[in-house]
Amino acid sequence: MESKLSKLPVKCPSCQSGLSVQSLACQACDTVVNGRYDLPVLLMLEKEELEFVLRFVLNSGSLKEMSAEMGLSYPTIRNYLDDIITKLNTLENHES
């Protein structure tokens, strides 16, 4: 399930500050919407973390199924999920 698109950058390549979205464009009609919008917290996760979250949702939140699918122990999957939850809480608190 490899995406052909690059992951959206969330950090400035010059100073490492967080980026925001300033415009969105429709590829069908070329309409452009301008403004300043915050990035959703989930998009601030690393690519591997986003793929894990997607697998988690597609497995209906079953860590047991994910464990079997990924060939990893249940505790390993649980720990990885806990790490992502901690990271999301940290990112959310920094935005508040």
Query: Which CATH number belongs to the domain containing residue 70 in this structure?
Result: 1.10.10
Whether the model clears a pTM of 0.75, i.e. scores above it, the answer is: no
| Residue 46 belongs to a domain | yes
Please tell me the predicted confidence (pLDDT) of residue 56.
95
- Domain span holding position 71: 40-95
Distance in angstroms (rounded) separating the CA atoms of residues 67 and 70: 5
**How many domains are there within the chain?**
1
| Residue 5 belongs to a domain | no
| Residue 74 belongs to a domain | yes
Other Cβ atoms within 10 Å of 77 Cβ, number: 22
Distance in angstroms (rounded) separating the CA atoms of residues 92 and 86: 10
| Residue 7 belongs to a domain | no
Distance in angstroms (rounded) separating the CA atoms of residues 26 and 28: 5
Residue 1 has pLDDT above 70, yes or no: no
Averaged pLDDT, 25-35:
94
